[in-house]
């Protein structure tokens, strides 16, 4: 796959935030190690989610808040591929778009950043009615359930903005909850006061993973991106995305997961909460997958398998359709188990409460 031939400059779409640019540059660096003579140019833009900062994400009530402008640029050929935080990417992409790579996943857990006056505290030891900032229904529902002595308030903006609000002496926040992956990529791991373990907080679908979106028909770009696929990250994220897709969820209801791949066994836990966290529906599913052999050779693709995408992910020489199909089916099966337990009713009630509060 190593192609040192000179070619036209490859244009890479990215949001303008510091974290987005760090992530985009990381992907480009990984590609330059494989294709050292290829040239890349970053094309930045603001998305709707970057512009509307006075409302919580669920109250904005639209899909693709952080991706629509980037995908339009991809569709009209202004860029050749786009780097996303996978958790921001809808489970159904526009027609003709696909995920050409999912890179090795950073820590998917949530992290607590305490204000300076509470630097020696944890969430459980904060004083009663301490205010925690988060824009995520998933995080707020779990906090309300597990730590009812705390108060939750919405906080928006990029990482720099939210940290500035946290450290405002006249501000209300005792702590904010952020994705650990973002803080680590920014080089701010020392700001993390507490990592939330899975028994305290499940994480968002795709959290910690970077996804690279391209045009499905662009075989040249697909071949360039293909070596970036990470087996574990791809299979766990396909499973998680299949779970969310089957539920029909997004940022409009508290939905969370955790997943792992050990040897060839894929395990996923999924959960749905009411907005106040008092109702919880959860289950765990696991399945054995057909994975590459011990010598690293991927299983042969079935010659009779109809070409398709798996939650928008393109099969690659590193990850076969058989493996992706197993991951996709497991996520769908877990969602069906939750639906049998009335998860859709809980999600519908959450959406109605959000609409009523607008």
**What is the DSSP code string of 133-185?**
E---HHHHHHHHHH-TTSEEE---S-HHHHHHHHT-TTS-EEEEEEEHHHHHH
The tokens for 47 are: 């998305």
Q: Which two tokens stand for residue 86?
A: 């996978």
Q: Which residues pair with 163 in a beta bridge?
A: none
Do residues 344 and 352 lie in contact, with contact meaning Cβ atoms separated by under 8 Å?
Answer: no
Q: What's this model's pTM, rounded to 2 decimal places? A: 0.90
Matching residue, tokens 């720099």: 160
List active site positions: 88
- Angstrom distance (rounded) from CA 136 to CA 113: 15
pLDDT in tens, 263-300: 999 999 999 999 999 999 999 999 999 886 544 455 44
DSSP assigned state of 116? G
In the chain, the domains with their CATH numbers are 10-107+205-356 (3.40.190.10), 110-195 (3.40.190.10)
Alpha-helical segments (H) within the chain: 18-34, 48-51, 57-60, 68-75, 137-146, 159-166, 180-185, 219-225, 231-247, 321-340, 343-357
Give residue 7's pLDDT: 52
pLDDT of residue 151: 97
- Which run of H or E residues covers position 94? none
The two three-digit tokens of residue 191, written as one number: 């700001």
> Would you state the pLDDT for residue 47?
63
Q: What's the pLDDT at 220? A: 96
Tell me, what's the pLDDT at 331?
Answer: 98
Instruction: List per-residue pLDDT tens for the chain, 358 residues long.
Output: 444 444 589 999 999 889 999 999 999 999 999 999 999 999 998 765 444 444 444 443 444 555 788 999 999 999 999 999 999 898 989 999 999 999 999 999 999 999 999 999 999 999 999 999 998 999 999 999 999 999 999 998 889 999 999 999 888 999 999 999 999 999 999 999 999 999 999 999 999 999 999 999 999 999 999 999 999 999 999 999 999 999 987 667 899 999 999 999 999 999 999 999 999 999 999 999 988 654 445 544 554 444 689 999 999 888 989 999 999 999 999 999 999 999 999 999 998 888 877 6
Helix/strand/coil for 284: strand
């Amino acid at each position: 796959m190593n192609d040192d031939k000179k070619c036209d400059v490859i244009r890479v779409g990215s949001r303008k935030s510091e974290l987005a640019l760090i992530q985009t540059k990381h992907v480009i660096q990984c590609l330059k190690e494989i294709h050292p003579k290829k040239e890349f140019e970053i094309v930045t833009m603001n998305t709707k989610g970057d512009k509307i900062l006075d409302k919580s994400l669920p109250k904005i009530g639209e899909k693709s808040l952080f991706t629509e402008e980037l995908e339009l640029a991809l569709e009209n050929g202004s860029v050749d591929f786009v780097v996303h935080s996978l958790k921001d990417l809808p489970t159904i992409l526009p027609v003709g778009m696909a995920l050409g790579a999912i890179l090795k996943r950073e820590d998917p857990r949530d992290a607590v950043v305490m204000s300076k006056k509470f630097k020696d505290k944890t969430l459980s030891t904060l004083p009663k009615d301490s205010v925690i900032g988060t824009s995520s229904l998933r995080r707020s529902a779990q906090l309300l359930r597990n730590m009812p002595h705390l108060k939750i308030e919405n906080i928006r903006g990029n990482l720099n903005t939210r940290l500035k609000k946290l450290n405002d002496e006249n501000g209300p926040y005792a702590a904010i909850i952020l994705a650990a992956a973002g803080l680590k990529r920014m080089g701010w791991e020392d700001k993390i006061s507490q990592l939330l373990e899975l028994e305290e907080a499940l994480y968002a679908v795709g959290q910690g993973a970077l996804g690279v979106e391209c045009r499905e028909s662009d075989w040249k770009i697909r071949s360039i991106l293909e070596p970036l696929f990470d087996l574990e990250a791809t299979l766990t994220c396909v499973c998680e995305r299949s779970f969310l897709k089957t539920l029909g969820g997004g940022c409009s209801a508290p939905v969370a997961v955790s997943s792992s791949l050990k040897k060839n066994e894929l395990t996923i836990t999924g959960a749905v909460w009411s907005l106040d966290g008092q109702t919880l529906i959860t289950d765990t599913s696991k399945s054995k997958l057909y994975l590459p052999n011990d010598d690293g050779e991927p299983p042969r693709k079935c010659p009779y398998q109809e070409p398709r995408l798996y939650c928008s992910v393109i099969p690659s020489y590193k990850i076969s359709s058989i493996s992706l199909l197993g991951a996709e089916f497991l996520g769908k099966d877990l969602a069906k188990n939750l639906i049998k337990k009335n998860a859709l009713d809980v999600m519908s009630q959450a959406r109605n409460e959000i609409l009523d509060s607008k």
